[in-house]
Chain A
Amino acid sequence: MSRRRHSDDSDDSDGQPHKRRRTSEPSEIEERLESLICRVGEKSNSSLESNLEGLAGVLEADLPNYKSKILRILCTVARLLPEKLTVYTTLVGLLNARNYNFGGEFVEAMIRQLKECLKVNMYNEAVHLVRFLSDLVNCHVIAAPSMVAMFENFVSVTQEEDVPQVRCDWYMFAFLSSLPWVGKELYEKKDAEMDRLLSQTESYLKRRQKIHVPMLQVWTADKPHPQEEYLDCLWSQIQKLKKDRWQERHILRPYLAFDSILCEALQHNLPPFTPPPHTEDSVYPMPRVIFRMFDYTDDPEGPVMPGSHSVERFVIEENLHCIIKSHWKERKTWPTSGCALILCLPLLQVIFAELFQLPSPPHIEVMYTTLLIELCKLQPGSLPQVLAQATEMLYMRLDTMNTTCVDRNSFTKNYCILSFDRSDCLTQDLEKPKPKFVREVLEKCMRLSYHQRIIDIVPASFSVLSPANPVCIYKYGDESNRSLPGYTVALCLTIAIKNKASNDEIFSILKDVPNPNQDDDDDEGFTFNPLKIEVFVQTLLHLAAKSFSHSFSALAKFHEVFKTLAESDEGKLHVLRVVYEVWKNHPQMIAVLVDKMIRTQIVDCAAVANWIFSSELAHDFTRFYIWEILHSTIRKMNKHVLKIHKELEETKARLARQHKRRDSDDDDRSSDREDGPLEEQIERLQEKVESAQSEQKNLFLVIFQRFIMLLTEHLVRCETGGIDVFTPWYKSCIERLQQIFLQHHQIIQQYMVTLENLLFTAELDHHILAVFQQFCALQA
């Protein structure tokens, strides 16, 4: 039956599509206004000044009819296009000069929006609003003294009692980070007040605690570039700015060209702004450490890179972060976004800063790799070389780089791997960061190609770093193994499976396997029998070794057998052990099998956690694939909890809607009887949520417990042996623990009481306790 092709898919109900085009609908006008406003400042044949003037004229004319729409659009661009801040403040300045009332209404709308943002924890966007307001001082829209008054209220938050430090931090940051734009003007008008504010700032910064900083640093060494806490760095930059008499040279200030018009305008006073109080629901931004990898010495031929304490550095980097935030989704805009036009070193530094950010990059990691590839295509004469240089630099500093960041170095892994000399890693112990890194890189390269290719590329001298051939190890494969217990059953199983045996047939073959753990078998026959598990799993995985799909089919087909054999906790652990034994040369296969087994509930998350920390895996403990598996496991657990929670909320909403319908129908006949099934469902889901949350908590507790055990063992061994604690293994382990805390801090916060009382008690070695204290300091 052929499909009839539709001639016109439009949903036009009146059947007259052309009618729409003749009259301009309000939504079309709004689109046009939005488009005009958003496009100003982009590449154009006319100058920015004439475009702004033209647009101001158009908007002024539209004010009588479209004022609220224009207000809304301007407020939105202030919030969402911070990279064009001064373009829009100038525009508002011009509008205010032409229409004083509009200026006042805009300021009011901005204050409302700011309050809204703070209430719903949108702190990053709130900073942009504050900066916008402060730049409006430069455009003669807002009177300087009222802006100073607002900043006084911000800084006085640091005097509040019993509030988290991160709250005070945000208000301080909002104040300081506006000063590059408006510091000069505010200081000229109100120098005494500003001096007072700055000295209050200094004393706050001196007394605030910085226990959290080590957890967030990408490098553990301060050479060649110190990893500064973000407020400290900003403060140094502002102090230098003040010393330079607030001369700031980088920011584009279109309003300067309109000075004669703007200075005639009447200014508005900001209404007194009281910071909304701290509530239990307030979630403030996490503290940050400023990532530095370049300074001006790294680019002797290029334009001079601003010093790390120059305010230009701050402004340039802020701008780049904003550009990436606006454009990350739309690859089409990357060539014309600021990114492609910006100097290599600051750009690369910002990209790497985001890539290496702890706990996670602000955007998905693969975006950055594709961005770098695209940028290399756009600047083929300069960026590739600088990128290669940067890669080399990162490699040289590997020893002090945070393990999580080394693991994340995904682009550099695939990019320049063999284009520079890495012979230094051959002379080192294979557990040292550099040789380890090269091994991991080679393994990742192999995953994206194939083993022989890696062997062909890697020079013979490096062969010790080459990955193993990812073949499966079947212990019952050779005739010489026939003395192994279970060998005959393995053979039997192999034949049976090849002949498409059913689960029941498999069970009956397995019944013959003796249990090395027991003297006499249970009548049920299915208590934990490691040999049964071994024979079955080895044989099946070996038969299905050809590809992932083959293995997944095998897991699915014999799911029942798996479930039965792995019913107990020991069973689950043993299944994982056998999977490892078979596939230890193919970490990627182990990862996908574990993933499948969790999803099909053959093993649970806690079993995987226990397996990862088990002594059998100690040898592989610092390999990246282990952490890939652990983090993936935690992610699955978290997603599961969220999913059930969402189901519960949706069902509750359905019940609420049903009630509402009934109330509005005013029908007494339909009684609570109708609610029955939904209420039952809610109860069931409630139980499911609680059980999932309990499983989630248990998973984290297991992980923390095992970390503590492992680290304590190491610390005791070092102490009694008189050797230095800080081995490569120890560094890796501590940093992995830190990452667990950081990456899941919101969830883990819920367990604080248990963690404090049960696990991270005062008796713990101070090395381990320090990590917990750093975590507590994050949102304190």
Chain B
Amino acid sequence: MCSGGSLSILRSDSYVDLSQYRDQHFRGTRYDQERLLRKSCTLYVGNLSFYTTEEQIHELFGKSGDIKKIIMGLDKVKKTACGFCFVEYYARGDAENAMRYINGTRLDDRIIRTDWDAGFKEGRQYGRGRSGGQVRDEYRQDYDAGRGGYGKTVQCQ
């Protein structure tokens, strides 16, 4: 009775739950994707500054556990950092703690966002925007000094 009983309000863990986002380039069923996301040790990290280094990311994300690998997101054309990365942990629990406590905090004075990733595959380190960076930097209207200034479409005007 002792070890078995728990309460659903204490099981609530919303920061670890899957978000609404699903990678549209994922090869496989939605079911497979969600199964992978639920046991993944890999996080996507977004809203990084273009100047944020692997070392900084390692220091921050190392707070929730031992990191297996960091893969910096690159502009497909320039092959330079374009503001996202993947962080893979050895243990799922460490990744969960990153989702709970590092998601939504600051790095390089920017609020970063983490989300589950189904697992790194070659090619996924590149931005998917037309100009080579991330899609979000194609169309945004604001000026963001840490992400190349204005959005690409604005720049081309």
Residues of A within 8 A of B (CB): 3, 5-6, 9, 31, 34-35, 38, 72-73, 75-77, 79-81, 109, 112-113, 116-117, 120, 122, 125, 326, 329-333, 364-367, 369-370, 373, 410, 444, 447-450, 547-549, 552, 588-589, 592, 595, 632, 635-636
Contacts and interface: CB of A to CB of B under 8 A. Distances in A.
A18 B29 CA distance: 25
B122 to A, nearest CB: 14
Contact of B59 (A73, A75, A109, A448): A448
Nearest to A4: B29
B78 to A, nearest CB: 17
B55 A116 contact: no
Nearest to B3: A120
A547 B29 contact: no
6 contacts: A3-B29, A9-B31, A330-B15, A373-B105, A444-B59, A588-B58
Given A81-B7, A548-B58, A366 B102 contact: yes
Contacts of A72: 1, 5
B108 A80 contact: no
Most central of B14, B59, B72 by chain A CB within 10 Å: B59
Contacts of B60: 448
B58 A364 contact: no
Contact of B105 (A38, A77, A117, A370): A370
Interface in B2-28: 2-3, 5-10, 12-15, 26-28
A447 B59 contact: yes
The 4 closest A-B pairs by CB, nearest first: A116-B2, A447-B59, A76-B5, A366-B63
A75 B6 CA distance: 10
A457 B66 CA distance: 30
Contacts of B27: 3
Q: Interface majority SS on A: helix, strand, loop or mixed?
A: helix
A72 B14 CA distance: 26
B101 A113 contact: no
Contact of B7 (A77, A117, A444, A636): A77
Contacts of A552: 69
B100 interface: yes
Nearest to A368: B101
A370 B72 contact: no
Nearest to B64: A366
B20 to A, nearest CB: 15
B70 interface: yes
A548 B55 contact: yes
Contacts of A549: 54, 70-72
Contacts of B70: 548-549
Interface in B73-121: 97, 100-102, 105, 107-108
Contacts of B1: 72, 75, 109, 112-113, 116
A31 B58 contact: no
B10 A326 contact: yes
B141 interface: no
B155 interface: no
B100 A367 contact: yes
B107 to A, nearest CB: 7
A6 B15 contact: no
Nearest to B91: A639
B14 A332 contact: yes
Given A6-B31, A444-B59, A549-B71, 15 more contacts: A3-B27, A31-B8, A38-B8, A38-B9, A80-B10, A116-B2, A329-B13, A331-B15, A447-B59, A448-B59, A450-B53, A548-B70, A588-B58, A635-B66, A636-B66
Contact of A366 (B15, B58, B69, B97): B97
A549 B8 CA distance: 42
Interface in B24-57: 26-31, 53-56
B98 to A, nearest CB: 8
B6 A76 contact: yes
Given A9-B31, A38-B7, A330-B12, A117 B2 contact: yes
B13 A447 contact: no
A364 B101 contact: yes
A581 B39 CA distance: 40
Contacts of A5: 30
Contacts of B31: 6, 9
A262 B108 CA distance: 60
Interface string B132-153: 0000000000000000000000
A77 B9 CA distance: 11
A742 to B, nearest CB: 21
Nearest to B58: A548
A76 B7 contact: yes
Contacts of B100: 329, 331, 367, 370
A122 B2 contact: yes
A34 to B, nearest CB: 6
A189 to B, nearest CB: 31
A548 B30 contact: no
B14 A330 contact: yes
Contacts of A77: 7
Nearest to B9: A38
Contacts of B13: 329-330
B60 to A, nearest CB: 6
Contacts of B30: 3, 5-6, 9
B96 to A, nearest CB: 9
A329 B100 CA distance: 7
Given A3-B28, A6-B29, A113-B2, A80 B7 contact: yes
A331 B70 CA distance: 26
